[in-house]
Structure 1
Amino acid sequence: MEKLMSIRDLKFVPESYILPPDSRPGDTKIPFCNTIHVLDLKDPTNLVQQIIEASTEFGFFQLINHGVEEKLLQDVSNVAKEFFGLPAEDKAILFSDDPSKSCRLYTSIDYMKEEVHYWRDTLRHSCHPLEEHKQFWPEKPAQYRDGMGSYSVEVRKLSLYLLDLICEGLGLEPGYFRNETDQLTEVQFLAVNHYPPCPDPSLTLGLPKHGDFNLLTLLLQEMDGLQVLKDGQWLAVEPLPNAFVVNVGHALQIISNGKLRSAEHRVVTNRKLARTTITSFIAPSYSCQIEPARVLGPPLYRAFTYRDFIASYITDTYQRNPPLERYKLQL
């Protein structure tokens, strides 16, 4: 529990959180990028084409008018902040270093293996099927289970709809991501990330440079901090009211045979304000075989099970190796 950032009141950045000079964000504030696509789900004009273009160019886009009620978004944002404001003894019930737990609170995936720690706490839990997992979620705040339950159902529906549109845009058979007993989209989990104020944001990060290993990610953010890497340059993603940030994961890049890109991104900290976000991940089952869709031309990647990919992703992340490199075919 003493590792959790949300129960510490640090007046300086500890040595174990200071990044090597070449990995630090530095003092320069990166302006918001005005070229990241903002797509309106209520405007069907060229929507599929726009999703494919955004997923090809950036691997990211923002989504407005998506159909998830504004009140629900506000309620879950509030309850997420309330959770991290709970007394330490209430959070201690959920704290665990065991990654196999369905619901756990932690500050690092593997604290002992990290060369440098990151300025965040994470509450992560499975949420599909809802009835199998909800009982393990936090009992406090009292509104957490019902609020996050409703949210996870709505955001899953939205994610699957977006995957249907991506399926159409790539020229795949209808329902491609829902076939095979839904193995490609069987898993959904939420990560509620909390980034406390940091005494010196130039020295550390909330999350390091990485790409998501899953299929599709939807992020709900109220304040800035997310940055996307494009052409070797970091771009800040401006928070839009009630919008989702949508990004392509590594698994989707492989299935699209490299047509869509899984963009690398990171999170910077704030000197004065805490930032709390809610992220929904749609992912394949561990036993699912991932490979490029055959209609998309000669494969650029070899086939593998998702379980094997997760294991290699963790290893490559610690060794700072590109996680998709080992799966590329020599043409």
Structure 2
Amino acid sequence: MAITEPIIVSKSLPTIHLDLLRAENDMESKKLLSACRIQGFFYLDLTSDSEICKLWEGMVARMKDYFEQPLEVKMQDSRGSHNYGYIPVGTEPGPKPETKDGYETLKFSRREFLKGSADLTTAVRSEADYFFSFIMHAHTITFMILERLSTQLGLTGSSRFEADHADPGPSLSTLVLLHYPKHNNATALTNVGHLKHTDISTLTFLLAKQWGLQFLSPETNRWEFLEPRPGHAIINVGNFLRFRSGGEMASIVHRVIPLKERQDEDRYSIVYLLRTNDDASFNDPTGKKWTAKEWHDYKYEVFQSPTTLDAKGQILTAMMEENDKMVVREGITSE
């Protein structure tokens, strides 16, 4: 399938209102459950929360300042970690043949937030309180979404989704700041986008003002762009919620590519990955048992070397896609 054509914009995603979820509105919670079961993605209207919207603006400003620094300065924050520190462009394969990924990242582990520390360069430490404030808000919102889903399904006690996300954990929940640099028209496209995958998360909370996110629609079996909307987050179901729900929640394959062949503007996205506690266990669709940390660590290895570790694409997509078509979600158990 061509990477840049056709441009199809999804019309199927529902919008869930944060204020109604907070008020425990039953109809809105039912809409939430339906979205997680069917589309696996939804818009979350944040306009009732001026604080998170203000944080969004401040985060983007701080991201621009950070990523505009010379590479050698940013590399001082490299920690060789999947959850903490700086990672340059081109670390993983890209979505097009013979390309590498087209983004650089700065990551913050929620464990650092709980410790109240940021073991990074002065430029980051001086803004640590701001980044940690965002983590607190995003974590509270995603945790509350889990609570609403548990209630709608009638789950109780340790069977509730949020039960294996309780502090002190530990978990690998992470804030990821991504910058997709604008392409120089004079250079070859060797770094572009983000290869197709499903998320190593329970829920993913995404803020982005620029186009680029596509999902493989479970309703049309085609790649569709998701429109970035002011004042709205895009939330999607990750692997852990799919496994934990016995396959009832849809963790959908997605990727990031430019609308056109080249990235014609700098793209900044803010992602909070809510993850279950490290020792939570589940069975994948093949029946193999994993802990959350085992799945997290192995899948990140696959991201860096998919052709050798995951030739059939089963780990990257968590058995959700085959030959660019969604597979039936069945046969998953959790414990």
Q: Please name the residue that 2:299 is paired with.
A: 313
Amino acid at match of 1:306: A
What SS does the aligned partner of 1:218 have?
A: strand
1:215 to 202, 211, 227: 202
Q: CA deviation at 1:69?
A: 3.1
Aligned 1:1-331 pairs, distance under 5 A: 22=1, 24-28=2-6, 30-43=7-20, 44=25, 46-65=27-46, 67=49, 68-96=51-79, 98-99=80-81, 102-109=84-91, 116-128=99-111, 130-132=113-115, 134-140=117-123, 144-173=127-156, 176-179=160-163, 182=166, 186-199=171-184, 205-230=192-217, 231-269=220-258, 270-290=262-282, 301=287, 303-314=289-300, 318=306, 319=310, 320-323=312-315, 324-325=318-319
Alignment partners' CA distance in 2, 1:300 and 1:127: 31
Amino acid at match of 1:251: F
Alpha-carbon contact 1:79-1:141 (below 8 Å) kept: no
> 1:148-180, CA deviations, whole angstroms, 9 ceiling, x for partnerless residues?
111111111111001101112232116723435
| Percent pairwise identity | 20
Alpha-carbon contact 2:82-2:300 (below 8 Å) kept: no
Aligned residue pairs total 299
Q: CA deviation at 1:181?
A: 7.4
Q: Which runs of 5+ in 1 are unaligned?
A: 1-21, 293-298
Alignment partners' CA distance in 2, 1:99 and 1:245: 26
Alpha-carbon contact 2:92-2:100 (below 8 Å) kept: no
What SS does the aligned partner of 1:56 have?
A: helix
Q: Which runs of 5+ in 2 are unaligned?
A: 321-328
Alignment partners' CA distance in 1, 2:56 and 2:330: 39
Q: CA deviation at 1:309?
A: 1.9
Q: CA deviation at 1:236?
A: 1.1
Give the RMSD, CA atoms, in angstroms: 3.3
Alpha-carbon contact 1:32-1:236 (below 8 Å) kept: yes
Q: CA deviation at 1:102?
A: 3.3
Alignment partners' CA distance in 1, 2:124 and 2:297: 34
What SS does the aligned partner of 1:186 have?
A: coil
Alpha-carbon contact 1:159-1:218 (below 8 Å) kept: yes
Q: CA deviation at 1:130?
A: 0.9
Cα 1:329/1:227, change in 2 over 3 Å: closer
Cα 1:171/1:131, change in 2 over 3 Å: closer
